[in-house]
Amino acid sequence: MNVRQKISAEDMRERILVVAEEHFRRIGYAKTAVADIAQAMGMSPANVYRFFPSKLAINDALCAKIMRETDALIMSIVERPAPASERLRALIVELHRHNKEKLTNEHRLFDMVEVAMEENWPAIEAHCECVVCQMARLVTEGIASGEFRPVDPADFAETAFNATAKVFHPTMIAQCARFGDDQEDHARRIADLILAALRP
Amino acid sequence: MNVRQKISAEDMRERILVVAEEHFRRIGYAKTAVADIAQAMGMSPANVYRFFPSKLAINDALCAKIMRETDALIMSIVERPAPASERLRALIVELHRHNKEKLTNEHRLFDMVEVAMEENWPAIEAHCECVVCQMARLVTEGIASGEFRPVDPADFAETAFNATAKVFHPTMIAQCARFGDDQEDHARRIADLILAALRP
DNA sequence: TTTCTGATAAAAATCGAAAATCATCATACG
DNA sequence: CGTATGATGATTTTCGATTTTTATCAGAAA
C-alpha cells in the first residue's frame, strides 16, 4: 500500500502539472489560479496543496518539466555520431533556434520561463547546469580526439555559455527579435568564435 | 548674425540638457516633465519645444551625451600605448566595470539607458557602433602587428561584441548582480575567450 | 522680425477606495 | 486516512474622477 500510495501521489502531481500546463498555455501563467487548476480536476483548491507545498512549487515543477524536454534535445545533439566541433556548433545553433521558436510560438508558456530566469528558480539553475555540463563533455571529447587544444573543460564551458547569452537568454532573444536582427546568424558566428578559441 | 543665432540655439539645447540631467538624477527619468525643466530655467514649457521637437528628442540627446562620455573612456583605452591584445582585454573588462558602476551608483539616470536599449533609441545604436568600431580597430592593429591571426575585423568585432552581451548589457548586468555573480571574472574570461579565438 | 508666453486640446498618469481574487490553513467530514 | 469546506489575511483588480503631461498655436513682448 505504501507503494500504491507513492505511485498515486506521484501520478497526481503529474496530472496536476498536465492540467496546469494546459491552463498556462491557454490563459497565461499569471492569470491562472490554483483554484482554476483544482476546478478543472474536480477537486477543491485546498487539496492541490496536499501534493505541492505552494504555487511556486507547481510553477517550478512545471518549469522543470518543460526544461527537461529541452535538455532531451541537447542530449540528442551531444550523442550524435559526429566530431565534437560539429556537435558543439549544432548545440549552439539548434538550442538558440529551439528557444526562439518556443518563445514565439508558445509565448504564453514562456512568460513563466522569463520570470523564472529573473528570479532564478531551481529548475532554471538545473537546466543551465545541464547545458554547461554537456558543453564541457563535448570539450572533453574534442580534446581527447585532438580536435581542440587542451583547456579546463568545465571552466571553458562556463565561459562559452556566458558568451552565448545573447542568443540563449529569453530576454535577449525577445529584444533582438523586436529589432529584426538575424539572430541565427549571430548564433552561428558565436559558435565559430568559440570553436576558434578551441583550435589547437 | 546667422552664426550668432546658431551658437545661441545650440547653447540653449546644451543648457536644457544640463538641467534635464540634474532633474533626472534627482527625481528620476520617468518623473520629470518638460514643465519641470522649463520652470527650473525660468522659461515656459512651450519655449522648450522651440529647441527640441519632442520630449523623446530631449531624452535621446541626453542619452547621447551620457554615452559620449563612455565613448571617451573607450577611446582613451584604445589609444593607450600597449599591445592590441592587452587593450582589447582592458576594453572589455573596464567597459564592463564602467557600466556596472554607473548602473549601481547612478541608478536614477540609468533607468533611462535601460529603456533606451529596450526601445533602441538612436543614441544607443550610435554607442554600440562606436564600441564595435573601436574593437574592429584593435583587431586590425593586432593583425598588423602579428598578434592576431587574419580575420575580417568588422565581422569579428561584431561577433565579439555580441559575445559580451552578458557583461555589457544593462539588463544582464542587473540580473547577474542580483544573484551575486562575480561578473568581473566573467568579463575577464570572455576576454580570454575572444583573445584565444584571435591566436595566430 | 524674432523670441517667448499663456491658453488649451488631447492623451496619459495618478489616486483612492470598493470589490474581487488569491494562496494558504485550520478544521470538519466521510 | 484522504478529502473537502470555509475562513482569513493579503494582494490584486477595477473604475471613475482628478490631475499631469505632452504638444500646439495664436498672439504678446522685445
Ranges of each domain in chain A? 1-52, 59-198
Statement: residue A124 has pLDDT above 50: yes
Largest separation between any pair of C-alpha atoms in chain A = 62
Task: Say if residues A41 and A16 touch (Cβ distance below 8 Å).
Answer: yes
Q: Which of B160, B175, B189 sits opposite A118 (nearest CB)?
A: B175
Rounded to 10 deg, the angle between the A107-119 and A84-105 helix axes is: 110
Short-list A33, A182, A174, A157, CA closest to A107: A174
Q: How far apart are CA A131 and CA A167, in angstroms?
A: 14
Please give the sequence-ordered ranges of beta strands (E in DSSP) within chain B, or none if there are none: none
* Residue–nucleotide distance: A33 CA to D10 C1' (Å): 15
Which of these CATH numbers, 1.10.357.10, 3.30.565.10, 1.10.1660.10, 3.90.1640.30, describes A59-198?
A: 1.10.357.10
> Across the interface, do B199 and A199 touch by the CB < 8 Å criterion?
yes
Task: Say if residues A21 and A62 touch (Cβ distance below 8 Å).
Answer: yes
Query: Is B63-198 in CATH node 1.10.357.10?
Result: yes
Comparing A185 with A45, which gets the higher pLDDT? A185
> Across the interface, do A193 and B194 touch by the CB < 8 Å criterion?
yes
* Residue–nucleotide distance: B115 CA to C17 C1' (Å): 32
CB contact set of A136 (below 8 Å; sequence gap of 6+): A153, A154, A156, A157
The DSSP annotation for B53-83 comes to SSHHHHHHHHHHHHHHHHHHHHHHHHTSSS-
Output Rg (C-alpha) for chain B, integer angstroms. Answer: 20
Closest residue of chain B to A162, computed from CA coordinates:
B166
* Residue–nucleotide distance: B166 CA to D12 C1' (Å): 34
Comparing A7 with B17, which gets the higher pLDDT? B17
* Average per-residue pLDDT for chain A: 93
pLDDT at residue B177 in the model: 94
Q: How far, CA to CA in Å, does A86 sit from each of A83, A198, B10, B73, B193? A: 5, 13, 56, 39, 19
Task: Say if residues B191 and B93 touch (Cβ distance below 8 Å).
Answer: yes
Residue contacts between A and B (CB atoms, under 8 Å)? 74
A49-70 average pLDDT score: 94
* Window from A45-49, A59-63, A73-77, A186-190 with minimum mean pLDDT: A45-49
Q: Which of A162, A179, A197 sits opposite B120 (nearest CB)?
A: A179
pLDDT < 70 regions, chain B: 1-7
CB contact set of A177 (below 8 Å; sequence gap of 6+): A100, A103, A104, A183
Please check whether strand D approaches the CB of B30 to within 7 Å: no
Chain B within 8 Å of A73 (Cβ-Cβ)? no
Which pLDDT band holds residue A164 (cuts at 50, 70, 90)?
very high
Amino acid B71 reads: D
Short-list B131, B126, B116, B134, CA closest to B171: B116
Rounded to 10 deg, the angle between the A153-163 and A183-198 helix axes is: 160
Task: Say if residues B78 and B87 touch (Cβ distance below 8 Å).
Answer: yes
Q: Scan residues 50-79 of chain A and list those with Cβ within 7 Å of strand C.
A: 54-56
> Across the interface, do B162 and A190 touch by the CB < 8 Å criterion?
yes
Q: How far apart are CA B6 and CA A132, in angstroms?
A: 57
* Residue–nucleotide distance: A31 CA to C18 C1' (Å): 22
A174-185 average pLDDT score: 94
Q: Sign (positive/negative) of CA torsion B141, B143, B144, B150?
A: negative
Cell 591571426 -> residue = B149
Short-list B17, B107, B110, CA closest to B65: B17
Q: How far apart are CA A159 and CA B189, in angstroms?
A: 6
> Across the interface, do A189 and B155 touch by the CB < 8 Å criterion?
yes
pLDDT at residue B195 in the model: 98
A85/chain B closest Cα distance in angstroms: 14
**Per-residue model confidence as pLDDT tens digits over B145-164:** 999 999 999 999 999 999 99
Question: Strand, coil or helix: what is A147?
Answer: coil
pLDDT at residue B4 in the model: 46
A27-44 average pLDDT score: 89
| Chain A hits for B167, Cβ within 8 Å | 162
Cell 545553433 -> residue = A93
Q: How far apart are CA B124 and CA B144, in angstroms?
A: 30
CB contact set of B198 (below 8 Å; sequence gap of 6+): A196, B85, B139, B142, B147, B148, B149, B151, B156
Q: What is the CATH superfamily name and number for domain A1-52?
A: Homeodomain-like (1.10.10.60)
A69-78 average pLDDT score: 98
Burial A160-173 (b: 16+ CB within 10 A, else e): bbbbbbbbbbbbbb
> Across the interface, do A166 and B165 touch by the CB < 8 Å criterion?
yes
Q: Which of B120, B186, B196 sits opposite A162 (nearest CB)?
A: B186
Q: Which nucleotides of strand D lie within 7 A of protein CB?
A: 2-7, 13, 20-26
pLDDT at residue A46 in the model: 87
A5-9 average pLDDT score: 60
Please check whether strand D approaches the CB of A7 to within 7 Å: no
Q: How far apart are CA B34 and CA B46, in angstroms?
A: 9
Q: Which nucleotides of strand C lie within 7 A of protein CB?
A: 2-7, 14, 21-26
Task: Supply φ then ψ for residue B170, to 5 degrees.
Answer: -50, -45
